Structure 1
């Protein structure tokens, strides 16, 4: 059933992507995302004594299509849970719609200008949609993690896995899936979240009309998925 769910999700993802992304819309969304990200970082700088959790990702992390991403995206849901437990952590949502691993690699140094204690790395989905080289994708993700660890030796890294569209062929989809597994095996300090859309991908009732981006309820489930792996790193 899980394999079928993956396939249904990936098929919807592939067929809907071109209709929902045109250049004007992407430009407008990029500007909106950038403002939201800077606002989040400013809030962190104003909050002393709290450790920082950086969520580096694409539209899934940003919360594309939600009425209020800063309140309802899965990183925001995690922030609310952290606050309810009185834990000294502040979430920075550095999600950007349309982002690839190459884009994340270009942004990471700027994002690390502030101290980051935990990084949740959710990238690769757009690489898969565009059929980009899994070798380059793997190199980009590795470099992002290497840069983060060179900057902050004690940083904890969670790597969120994703699935490629099945129409890319079994060889590509297997290679894509294995990127995350290989990186987790190669980097002992990295914690793998096998599939960020576990329980959400391929379920129409948990996704918006585009069949790509989760609803608010879907983000709640994503937050629960991430929390299972994140919780052990949080200290009072």
Structure 2
């Protein structure tokens, strides 16, 4: 009898213990809420937020990669396509040349939206890879400012010219007018290299009938007061002068503003 009673007592406590354990598992499971899925910076979900200008309203001066909400801006688009000189490296977004150009157009009564498609460090090869992005923004005009980084790196002049030519041909094939910004190099790159490099721009402009800005940094590059400490990138005032030169070059291509009533 004692042995049988002991077994029943042991069985009772084992069952009770299992019941408590099972109840604990159930309660623990009910308290757990699924964590929201994490999104890495390079995942498709995060990249989907960085959409093209025609799909979304961009922040600030329409820098690529800051799209958030649908845009109702139906103005024709001028795309400033270039490197750090277009992006506005070293100055506030409102002091970049595309931002100055937007204000200049607004003041003159032209109804256009300027999109800053500048990427610091961009070469002509990198620009060629971005042409589809530029075309997807449905530009009415493209200001092409590329090649400076090729020259400063001493890249092959023929390859630089070929890349620019392919960019131009793809834009023209879609009936997009191109304004080509010429670049120059410091004399320490050698007379032969600098001459061949600088000849790229008038040659392409003549071949394809483009509006040419002979030197993008005209009146700015040689003035220390208009350049940052690196001697390459303009200050905000320097970019304002660049924008003025660009405005003078593109104005003949723009739709005339409506006269005030």
Question: Under TM normalisation by the shorter chain, which class is it?
Answer: 0.7 to 0.9
The aligned residue for residue 171 of structure 1 is 192
Distance 1:47 1:162 in 2: 36
The aligned residue for residue 55 of structure 1 is 80
The aligned residue for residue 158 of structure 1 is 179
Q: 1:8-87 alignment to 2 at 5 Å? A: 36-39=63-66, 46-66=71-91, 68-69=92-93, 71-87=94-110
More helix by share: 1
Where in structure 2 are there 5+ consecutive unaligned residues?
Answer: 1-61
The aligned residue for residue 32 of structure 1 is none
Specify which structure has the bigger relative contact order, considering alpha-carbon pairs within 8 angstroms and separated by 6 or more residues. 1
Is residue 222 from structure 1 mapped to residue 222 from structure 2 by the alignment?
no
Aligned partner of residue 155 in structure 2, secondary structure: coil
Is residue 209 from structure 1 mapped to residue 229 from structure 2 by the alignment?
yes
Is residue 181 from structure 1 mapped to residue 202 from structure 2 by the alignment?
yes
Q: 1:108-123 alignment to 2 at 5 Å? A: 108-123=131-146
| Structure 1 residue 42, shift from structure 2 partner | 6.4
Distance 2:108 2:222 in 1: 32
* Structure (1 or 2) with the larger CA radius of gyration: 2
Aligned partner of residue 138 in structure 2, secondary structure: coil
Distance 1:38 1:233 in 2: 28
Where in structure 1 are there 5+ consecutive unaligned residues?
Answer: 1-34
| Structure 1 residue 207, shift from structure 2 partner | 0.4
Distance 1:123 1:97 in 2: 11
How many positions carry a matched residue from both structures?
Answer: 195
The aligned residue for residue 166 of structure 2 is 143
Distance 1:89 1:205 in 2: 31
| Structure 1 residue 114, shift from structure 2 partner | 2.1
* Alpha-carbon contact 1:49-1:88 (below 8 Å) kept: no
* Alpha-carbon contact 1:119-1:156 (below 8 Å) kept: yes
| Structure 1 residue 146, shift from structure 2 partner | 0.9
- Cα offsets for 1:166-211 (capped at 9, x unmatched): 22211100000100011011111x1110000000002111101111
TM-score, normalised via structure 1 length = 0.79
Is residue 104 from structure 1 mapped to residue 131 from structure 2 by the alignment?
no
Distance 1:218 1:144 in 2: 27
| Structure 1 residue 127, shift from structure 2 partner | 0.3
TM-score, normalised via structure 2 length = 0.71
* Alpha-carbon contact 1:128-1:165 (below 8 Å) kept: no
Give the root-mean-square deviation of aligned CA atoms.
1.6
